[in-house]
Structures are given as C-alpha cells and as structure tokens.
C-alpha cells in the first residue's frame, strides 16, 4: 500500500474510532447503586491498542474536541467546555494518557507490557479524575477517591483487559483487508 493510501486509511480509522468512543461513551447501563456504567474506558483503551499511540491520541483528542464544541458525546449525553472543567472532567483529560499508553507498545509481542501500560494509563486517568473532583468539590483526595473512582476500578480494569483482547481480533481483521502499518 502506498503512502497516500496509508495516510487516508489512518485518517479513516482515527475518525472511526472517534465515533466508536462517542457511541460507547453515551451508552449507559444502570446499576442498583445509582451509578451508571459506560464503556468509555473500554473504547479509549481499544482505540490506543488498535491505532497505536499517535493515532489513538489523535482519535481521543478529536472525541474530546467534538464534545467540547457542543456535540453530546460525553457520558450521559453531556457536552461543552464546562464538562472538561467540571466535577468529572479530570477523567476526560486522563483519557489522553490512557489512549497514548495503551498504544505505546501496540506492535509489541509482549502482552504483559501492553496490559501494564494500559493499567498505568488507567491509574493516571483515575488520579486526574480524583484530583479535579477534589478541587472542585472541596473534598479530600481520599473522599474523592471513594466518590468518583473506587466504584469503577474493577469495571475499568476489566475494560483494559477486554480492550486488549478485542484489539487483537480487530488488528487481525484489518490486516486481512490489507491495512497493515507500524503503529
């Protein structure tokens, strides 16, 4: 595949993954605890694992930009710059780190390193979410952890593993279609 076709395919895949992130972010599953579960973390990790760090980061940044300018793609069909600087906006900023770290070793054969980088990205994402919530809500870091992070950790860890394994299947499928690049 020549370079111009490869560039077009990269743009198409980055755009498609921005759309996937958008759709999986607004789909919410209610829980008995009153905290809906979304597939945002799964979508961001999948984006990084499939596209690599550069395109994964770009795709995630496009998703954030689209939500910031007013399209309701954030959790709960929310949108706008206020979400980025609101109570849970730190998690959205953390998605950039999550996508980049999941994609950092996307072509490596070492599963342990790929998953470990994804988990590191998840930790950074949660730390940023906790800090921003703590600052805006004027609560302690510990209290903020229990309010906005602890309930989601297991689901998010499962999301990292799930995204990694789904990315393997996606990469095989697109390779069969002729899209093979070094991420």
182 domain-assigned: no
Instruction: Tell me the CATH number at 125.
Output: 1.10.1760.20
165 domain-assigned: yes
pLDDT of res. 115:
97
> Each residue of 42-95: pLDDT tens digit?
999 999 999 999 999 999 999 999 999 999 999 889 999 999 999 989 999 999
Q: What's the total number of domains in the chain?
A: 1
pLDDT interval class at 7 (50, 70, 90) = confident
9 domain-assigned: yes
Q: Which domain holds residue 135?
A: 3-176
181 domain-assigned: no
Question: DSSP assignment, residue 86?
Answer: S
183 domain-assigned: no
**Cα distance between residue 7 and residue 21, in whole Å:** 21
pLDDT(176) > 90: no
pLDDT of res. 31:
64
CA 62 to chain centre: 12
pTM of the model: 0.92
**Cα distance between residue 83 and residue 93, in whole Å:** 11
> Each residue of 132-168: pLDDT tens digit?
999 999 999 999 999 999 989 999 999 999 999 999 9
71 domain-assigned: yes
């Amino acid at each position: 595949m020549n370079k111009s076709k490869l560039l077009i395919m990269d743009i198409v895949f980055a755009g498609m993954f921005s759309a996937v992130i958008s759709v999986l972010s607004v789909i919410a599953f209610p829980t008995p605890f009153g905290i809906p579960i979304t597939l945002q973390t799964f979508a961001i990790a999948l984006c990084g694992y499939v596209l690599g760090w550069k395109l994964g980061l770009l795709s995630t940044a496009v998703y954030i930009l689209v939500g910031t300018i007013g399209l309701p793609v954030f959790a709960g069909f929310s949108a706008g710059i206020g979400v980025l600087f609101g109570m849970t906006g730190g998690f959205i900023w953390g998605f950039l780190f999550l996508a980049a770290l999941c994609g950092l070793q996307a072509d490596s054969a070492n599963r342990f390193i790929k998953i470990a980088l994804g988990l590191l990205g998840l930790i950074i994402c949660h730390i940023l979410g906790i800090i921003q919530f703590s600052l805006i809500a004027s609560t302690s870091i510990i209290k903020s952890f229990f309010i906005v992070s602890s309930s989601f950790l297991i689901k998010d860890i499962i999301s990292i593993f799930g995204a990694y394994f789904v990315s393997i299947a996606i990469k095989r499928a697109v390779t069969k279609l002729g899209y093979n690049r070094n991420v």
